[in-house]
């Protein structure tokens, strides 16, 4: 039976420090084979060389077959590359710019196809919210905004929920004013594992970190732990 997986990380992981690689090990555990193939897409950081180096350090240490996709130097055949992977990992950075580049290269449709084929989709921050219908991003210099994302899974997502002080008030205000009905909020050092579109599991790789669904009920804001 085909199983579809998304692991959306609210903050943390190899991009900050290699550490114990707990969430990276969790992602790999979703593939039942030795030496899974994992491809890193660091578009949101402008294909940062340091970010790519940390990726190779992390997943080579975990005995994976590693590769990446560049968009700011010569770009390879995306369909051939993506559809031969076991795992895709999308890095953090500027979500709006990332999605614009992907659309120009048709990567958004390639990723949707890969997800339907059972390739694990994962990522942090920009790489977490990109899978949802919409995401709350700090891509803009002076304010948070909601932007359209890939729409692979339902809902609106917000990363860094406990790490950046403006996030929670912004989400609460949107819900109070009924601009959005609810938001999936992911704390730093926590990930939301979405299995087959609708099965949610919160993965704490920090210290009591959580994922919430924030919504309004009887005119009061509610936080439901996922």
Catalytically active residues are 125, 160
Cα dihedral 11, 176, 148, 24 in deg (nearest 10): 20
DSSP letter string over 31-70? S-SSS-EEEEE-GGGTS-HHHHHHHHHHHHHTT-EEEE--
* Alpha carbon distance 212, 52 (integer Å): 30
């Amino acid at each position: 039976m085909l199983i579809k997986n998304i692991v959306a990380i609210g903050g943390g992981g190899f991009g900050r420090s290699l550490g114990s690689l707990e969430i990276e090990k969790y992602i790999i555990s979703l593939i039942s084979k030795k030496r899974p193939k994992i491809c890193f897409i660091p578009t949101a950081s402008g294909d940062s060389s340091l970010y790519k180096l940390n990726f190779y350090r992390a997943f080579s240490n975990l005995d994976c077959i590693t590769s990446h996709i560049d968009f700011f130097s010569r770009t390879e055949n995306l369909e051939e590359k993506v559809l031969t992977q076991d795992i895709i990992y999308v890095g953090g950075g500027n979500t709006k710019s990332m999605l614009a580049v992907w659309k120009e290269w048709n990567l958004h449709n390639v990723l949707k196809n890969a997800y339907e084929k059972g390739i694990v989709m994962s990522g942090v921050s920009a790489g977490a919210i990109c899978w949802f219908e919409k995401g709350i991003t700090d891509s803009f210099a002076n304010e948070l905004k909601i932007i359209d994302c890939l729409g692979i899974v339902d809902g609106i997502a917000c990363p860094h929920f406990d790490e950046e002080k403006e996030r929670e008030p912004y989400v609460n205000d949107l819900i109070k004013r009924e601009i959005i009905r609810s938001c999936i909020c992911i704390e730093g050092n926590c990930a939301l594992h979405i299995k087959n579109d609708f099965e949610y599991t919160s993965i704490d790789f920090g210290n009591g970190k959580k994922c919430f669904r924030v919504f309004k009920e009887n005119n009061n804001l509610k936080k439901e732990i996922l």
